[in-house]
Amino acid sequence: MKARLNQLVTSVVTTAAVMTLFKKFPLAQAMPTTETGLHARNVFVDDFENIYISNVTDKIFGQDSTKFDYIVIRSEKDLAISATNQYAAAWTAGRDDETFVAFINATMAGHMEEDQASDISWLCGELDNAMLPHVSKCANVKKRDMAVALEARSRWSWSTSKSHVATDIAVRGLGSFLSHMAWHTFPLEPRSVCTNGACLSWSKPLTAFTNNFAQLLVDDALTAVDFNNFSAEAYRGINGVDICISNRASGCN
């Protein structure tokens, strides 16, 4: 289904319903890219691949693109690389209608579903509030509200949101992956780890942040949050740094 999605993006966005999705961004903003420039093996852990969405363009929809860079488990790198290459091709060719869907799919490491790719309300809801004004079709789409769903039994205070939702099984897979890793300290950048369509991300660099501690965060959130319906964020959860569990590597907002 994921492979079909990468073909579907092109066909979906060529319909009249989404031809006016974007305000035009000049191609002069785009940086020359090659396939290898969009990803690289993580120098700290061979099992990870770094995905550099920021090597497509410095900014996307008014935001610094570096916030969307992430790390993905190597077994899923082909899907993430394919999605990122598709985004780069759409941007470079100036296909603004296609860029929107392809960008969101790239931030999800290629895990967008077919019904999501054709749902304008859902797509607009995946954008940060600061990005929405740069997408004309999203002007009348209401941003999905932040919900308050904090569980007393959890160690961290998790706030939930209806945006950037993964699935419960994906988050459990992320926790399992972290638990089976050899002892590892995450690098300062990129500030995320993704697998199986779920990501754990942190808003600022963290020193001495290990996979074991990351697993504790995921396991704790699973006691408090229905990840089939919400993403979750622990504001200032670690040393004043926000922690997010969602379907993308760039945070919950």
pTM listed for this prediction: 0.60
Res 29: pLDDT: 30
Q: Report, as an integer, the average pLDDT of 225-252.
A: 89
**pLDDT confidence of residue 149:** 42
Is residue 14 a contact partner of residue 97, using CB atoms and an 8 Å limit? yes
Rama region for 25: left / alpha / beta (φ>0; ψ in -120 to 50; rest): beta
Q: Is the pLDDT of residue 19 over 60?
A: no
DSSP per residue, 52-100: -GGGTBSEETTEEGGGG-EEEEGGGHHHHHHHHHHHHHHHHTT-HHHHH
- Interval 93-147: pLDDT, tens: 988 889 999 999 998 888 888 888 889 888 888 887 788 888 887 877 766 554 4
**pLDDT of res. 144:** 56
Q: What is the pLDDT of residues 73-84, one digit of tens each?
A: 777 788 889 999
What is the predicted pLDDT for the residue at 196? 86
114 with 130: CB under 8 angstroms?
no
- The domain limits of the chain are 2-138, 146-246
Instruction: Say if residue 12's pLDDT is above 50.
Output: no
The one-character DSSP state at 31 is: P
pLDDT attached to residue 59: 92
User: Is residue 190 reached through a cis peptide bond, with omega within 30 degrees of 0 on the bond before it?
Assistant: yes
Handedness of CA 152, 155, 158, 164 (dihedral sign): negative
Of all residues in the chain, what percent carry a pLDDT higher than 70? 77
Can you tell me the mean pLDDT for 180-196? 85
